[in-house]
Amino acid sequence: MPKDLPARVQGQDSIVIDAPLVQVWPLIGESRNLARWGPPVIDVSTDDDPEGVGSRRTVTAKMGRRTGTFRERRIIHEPPQRMAFVIETDTFGLARLLRASGTLMELEATPDGATRLTWTFFHQPHSILGHVMNPAIRRQQRRNRLLALASLKAYAEHGTLRPQP
């Protein structure tokens, strides 16, 4: 598990995408591309161009019946292998439950020219309610992570629209 994250790893999954690393990196490394493939993302705006460590983005997402935003800061930027974001603020109320919440994405070229993507979620439960809710939060994060991985794979390999939750 990566040691340079600001909180404990809460879940991790990987997928092999039948596309070269140079094709997959821009889909995750350039924030605006997230709205093309990333459920439940509706829109992404960035403050900095080019993006790098310290750059910020605002992700508009629909979670259930609610639409809201996540304000995120890039904390790792090592193209084309790794990048990570931490959520600074959100309108969904996650900050009442979690601290130092974010994601790490790591890419690795496979010998056959495909790309392995490992997606890690990290956070620190905050407050009694955060500790009580953490098992349910981890299950929901895993569902979201697996859906996002499948969606990215479909988009990178076939250019198909992302699957709906």
What is the mean predicted confidence (pLDDT) over 8-14?
96
Helix (H, G, I), strand (E, B) or coil at 131: helix
Q: How many CA atoms lie within 13 A of 66 on its CB side?
A: 8
Which pLDDT tens digit goes with each residue over 117-139? 999 999 999 899 999 999 999 99
pLDDT tops 90 at residue 163: no
All domains of the chain, ordered by start, with CATH? 9-30+75-158 (3.30.530.20)
Which pLDDT belongs to residue 162? 56
Task: Tell me what the pLDDT averaged over the chain comes to.
Answer: 93
Say how far apart CA 68 and CA 78 lie, in whole Å: 29
Q: CA quadruple 99, 103, 70, 76: dihedral positive or negative?
A: positive
pLDDT-above-90 percentage for the chain: 85
**Which residues make beta-bridge pairs with 58?**
45, 71
| pLDDT (mean) for 36-54 | 92
- In a 3-state reduction of DSSP, which class is residue 14? strand
